[in-house]
Amino acid sequence: MRKRIIKLICIAVACVTLLCPLCAGAAPLLDTKAEAELTVIYQKDGNVFPDLKIQIFRVAEAFPDGTFELTEPYNGYPINIHDVTAQEQWTNIATTLCSYIVADGVEPYREEITDETGVSRFTGLETGLYLVREVTAENNSGTYVFNRFMVYLPTPTEDGSYDYSVEAVPKCLSCVPKTEYRVTKLWQDSGHATDRPEEITVDIYKDGQLWESQVLNGENNWSYVWYVSEDDNGIWTVAERDVNEFYTVSIQQNGGSFTIINNHAGDPDNPDLPQTGDTFSPLLWVMIMCFSGIMLLVIGVYGRRRA
């Protein structure tokens, strides 16, 4: 009996010895109770994009063995997140999820605003599978569209462990350059600068529809700039409103640059009369007639004296 017990102990020790290398090489379990962090960077070609509203959606919960399962309401959608082997598949999953999210008005799990460097940080996140929504960003250079994407929190690493602090740079799908438009006020009122108003209002129209109204004054150097997509085919016009009584208006256009020229019109109570084709003064005719009459009288008197 004693020999049999010893034999069993030896077998058990041998089994443990054989299993130890396997245990040592096994991947660690995912800590589902740990907090994760996601940093998303929105930068492109030296441009940074602050004040963007970034939305994330926790679509699946994580399990210790590294697997994920869709949660409500996403588990009610006909979407498969298992056996995904290509990035293109994840892109399609993200697009499909966004379609249902928009259709059903699903609220985001969290929402953050990018800082002055174009970076958005989400801290204290639950582990799981997340969708980051697409976002459109604009600056004076153009309009940029950043792609939606899926991200694991935590993310598996090459050594088999998990990274609970993940940094992502969304792919920029497209950039549509912009065209600059400008309106500038010029004054032609030498000696009458005191008659200028402190500011003027300019209405900007696109295809005959009011686009916006802007106030021009000394603080903005009597100028305003706006940008539209390079592929914009609209017809742009500008008009000054409530023109001061001392001035007339002339608008010039050179490409996307508009110049509003205000000329001083003189004293409105005694305006300059417009000239017609005949610019000869009637007063001059009267003076000539009087002079001629006097000369005839002088010649007549002188002639009678000689006779």
Contact predicate 115/55, CB 8 Å: no
Per DSSP, the three-state class of 11 is helix
Q: Per DSSP, what are the bridge partners of residue 68?
A: 62
Contact predicate 238/258, CB 8 Å: yes
Answer yes or no: is 31 within a domain. Answer: no
Domain count, the chain: 2
Report the Cα 56 to chain-centroid distance in Å.
21
Written as six digits, the tokens of 86 are: 């290509």
Q: In angstroms, what is the C-alpha Rg of the chain?
A: 41
Q: Are residues 120 and 231 in the same domain?
A: no
pLDDT of residue 298: 59
Select from 131, 146, 170 the last residue of a domain: 170
Q: Per DSSP, what are the bridge partners of residue 249?
A: 262
pTM for the full model? 0.60
Written as six digits, the tokens of 159 are: 């050594």
Q: Could you tell me the CATH number of the domain that includes residue 220?
A: 2.60.40.1140
What tens-digit pLDDT sequence spans the chain (307 residues)?
444 544 444 444 344 333 343 344 455 789 999 999 999 999 998 899 999 999 999 999 999 998 999 999 999 999 999 989 899 999 999 999 999 999 999 999 999 999 999 999 999 999 999 999 999 998 888 889 999 999 999 999 988 899 999 999 999 988 888 888 999 999 998 888 888 889 999 999 999 999 999 999 999 999 999 988 877 888 999 999 888 888 899 999 998 999 999 998 765 444 443 443 444 455 555 566 666 667 666 566 555 655 5
- Identify the domain containing residue 72 by its residue range: 36-170
Contact predicate 55/133, CB 8 Å: yes
Helix residue spans in 66-114 (DSSP H): 87-104
CA within 13 Å, CB half, 170: 32
CA dihedral 10, 16, 19, 24 (to 10 degrees): -140
pLDDT of residue 151: 96
pLDDT of residue 293: 66
φ and ψ at 21, to 5 degrees?
A: -60, -35
Answer yes or no: is 307 within a domain. Answer: no
